[in-house]
Each structure stands twice: as structure tokens, then as C-alpha cells.
Amino acid sequence: MKNIFRTLLDNAINYFFRSQKNISKQKNKDNILSGKLLGKKYHITYGASLTIDNKKTKEKEVTEKNIEAIAKKYLEHPEELFKYMENSGTSVYLNKNADRLLKIIDEEEGFILPKNGIKALYLNLITKNGINFSTPEMFILKSSNMNKSTLLYNFYNWYCYKKQTDGFEPETQDKFKKLYKSSNTKEDIEHLTFDEVLTLKTAARRDIDAINFVKRYTEQYLETKDKLKDIKTDKMVKM
């Protein structure tokens, strides 16, 4: 899975370099200083702009420390984690047919970003929220017994969304999902604008961050707990 995301990043960066060759220095400068790029530091090398943003790195470190602390407290007790999210304004729905129902609208069990249109109407109907063509973010699960690593991955994304982290904008995530599932990723990227490449690159990076965080947490805490359980069980058997 990581290789797929890295391929996406590589393709995006390669497109970035090619497109820069056809843009004047002044236009390149205007693009870098405009919109969402404002306030970030850039180094220009052979016409390409690469972001170096120490502030974002520090924010990520703080965010992950907070997520780790919450996970240590609630991950072993999913119901408590659900209460934490509900107290933060996010509804959590349990439906034994969640995976099958969500597949119809190309969504997966877990954290779902705000939706509009037909998808929103469908989500409102299956969550018994009446007829409405917009929905806020939500969690939809088959049960509270979701795999802990998968639950943590979804919680990580939820927490970053609530913190308004770059790359978690619903529109950006929708585009990223379509690109990720596309069979012509390279061709699709070549038709994107300069800013779209950057926002999708950010979304890909956020997903890799989530995967790496879950991997570290699992190796450090979940696997350790399982090993301790095995050791205790082994001792009981010997006794």
C-alpha cells in the first residue's frame, strides 16, 4: 500500500517538474506566493518548488503525541473512544451491514468525511437522519470490535480532520480517493493544475503519516501487549 502512495507522490513530483519548465519565472513566483501556498518557505531548484515547513512538522509531532495519549487511554475500550468523538461533535453509528451498505456509495467502514448530494442523502437514510442532501463527518461501523489498528488509522484521520490539518479537506480527499482508485493514475495527474498537484501531494502525505503512525503504535504498544499475554499464558500452562 505504501508503494502505491509513493508512486503517486513520485508521479506528482515528476509532473510538477515537467510543468515548471513551461512556466515563466514570474508566473512561477506568483503561483508560489498565492492562495494556500502563502506563508510557507520554498527553495527554488531548477524551476521546481519544494516546501520546507518546520511549523507544520512541529504541529504534526504535537498532534501525534495527542493521538498517542488518547489511544493509550481509550483504544482498548472502543466504546469510550466513541464517546470521546461524540463529545467532540461527531456521531458514531453501529450497523451490522455497514460494510455492504457503504460499498454501494464507494465508501468504507470507519471515518467518513462530510458529504453533499446523493451520497449524503443515502448516508442520512441508512443512519435514520431523514431526507437531507448534506451530512457532517461521521463514523459508521459494523460493531465496536473493529481491528484496533484499523480503528486507530480511522481515529488518526478523524483527529487531523477536526484539527483542520492540510490535506483533509473533503474535496481534496474525494479527489485523492478517485486518483488512488484510478487505473490511469499517471495520465490523470498530467491533467491536473499546479495547485491540484500540490493539494493531492499533501493528501497523500497525510495518508502515509497515518499509516506510519499506526505501524509505530502497533509495534510499540499493541504487539507488546500481545507478547505479554502470551508470556503470561505460557507461565500459567507451565504452572
- Report yes or no on 41 lying in a domain: no
Mean pLDDT for 61-87 is 97
- Report yes or no on 170 lying in a domain: yes
CA distance 173 to 200: 8
- Report yes or no on 20 lying in a domain: no
pTM score > 0.85 for this model?
no
- Report yes or no on 193 lying in a domain: yes
CA distance 207 to 211: 6
- Give the helix/strand (H/E) hosting 202: helix 194-217
List of residues 6+ apart from 82 with CB closer than 8 A: 92, 139, 144
Domain that holds residue 102: 62-238
Domain count, the chain: 1
- Report yes or no on 50 lying in a domain: no
User: pLDDT (tens digit, 9 = 90+) per residue, 44-53?
Assistant: 444 444 454 5
- Report yes or no on 200 lying in a domain: yes
Q: Which residues pair with 138 in a beta bridge?
A: 91, 112
Mean pLDDT for 191-216 is 89
Instruction: Report the candidate in 80, 96, 82, 16 with the shortest Cα–Cα distance to residue 49.
Output: 16
User: pLDDT (tens digit, 9 = 90+) per residue, 129-173?
Assistant: 999 999 999 999 999 999 999 999 999 999 999 999 999 999 999
Scan for cell 481509550, then name that residue: 74
- Report yes or no on 36 lying in a domain: no
CB 201, CB 9: distance < 8 Å: yes
- Report yes or no on 23 lying in a domain: no
